[in-house]
Amino acid sequence: MTTPRILPVMPSENVLFPGMLLPLHVRRASHLLLVTECLDSHGELGMILEIDDAPQQIGTVAKIIDYQPQEGGEMTLLVTGTERFTIAEMITDQPYTKALIAPYPFLETMSKDELDDRAEQVRRLFNNCVKLIASQRGCESQGVIALPEQTNDLGWTIASALSIPPLERQQLLEKESPASLLQSEIIYLESLLAELREQNSMES
């Protein structure tokens, strides 16, 4: 997406990141109509987090990659996030909500070498956390998990894996640059790693 366009948007309790797979169960009549019309056209919709009936301004374009009708007219979907957007204007005179959305690309705020160092720190912290969690659950460590080489993909993969509340996930989605996204993940992973090590020491 390089220019603004109109897209149906579906409020959700979940945050979808680019590259992330997300199953959805659609029940509301207006959302079922939205999905049906999307399937008849380009198969894309905008997903935005809604908190206390207040939709957030930054969302992710979702591509429907599988769907299954259910009893009672409901539907299950599998979507994947493709790119971020910001809402320029809400359009509500439809059976469901549409919005004029504009691209929300990352800004480059750091040299490639510095960004690569930060990405490597995230990989190391994440794998250390995975090994400790596996150990606590009595599972054998499978070694280092292969994570994406591309920095943007790495940031979204880690964001998708973090067990944090929706509002904190939204804050990650809204980061202006790969550097700021990775730095937020470093802070979270360092805190998680410290907690896991403390738990291990108390149990040993």
Q: Which two tokens stand for residue 46?
A: 């905008």
What is the Cα Rg of the chain in Å?
19
| DSSP 8-class letter at 139 | P
Q: Please tell me the distance from the alpha carbon of residue 80 to that of residue 58, in angstroms, as a whole number.
A: 16
pLDDT in tens, the chain (204 residues): 678 999 999 999 999 999 999 999 998 898 999 999 899 888 999 999 998 888 899 999 999 999 998 888 899 999 999 999 999 999 887 888 899 999 999 998 889 999 999 999 999 999 999 988 888 777 765 566 789 999 999 999 999 999 999 999 999 999 999 999 999 999 999 999 999 998 877 775
Rounded to two decimals, the pTM is 0.90
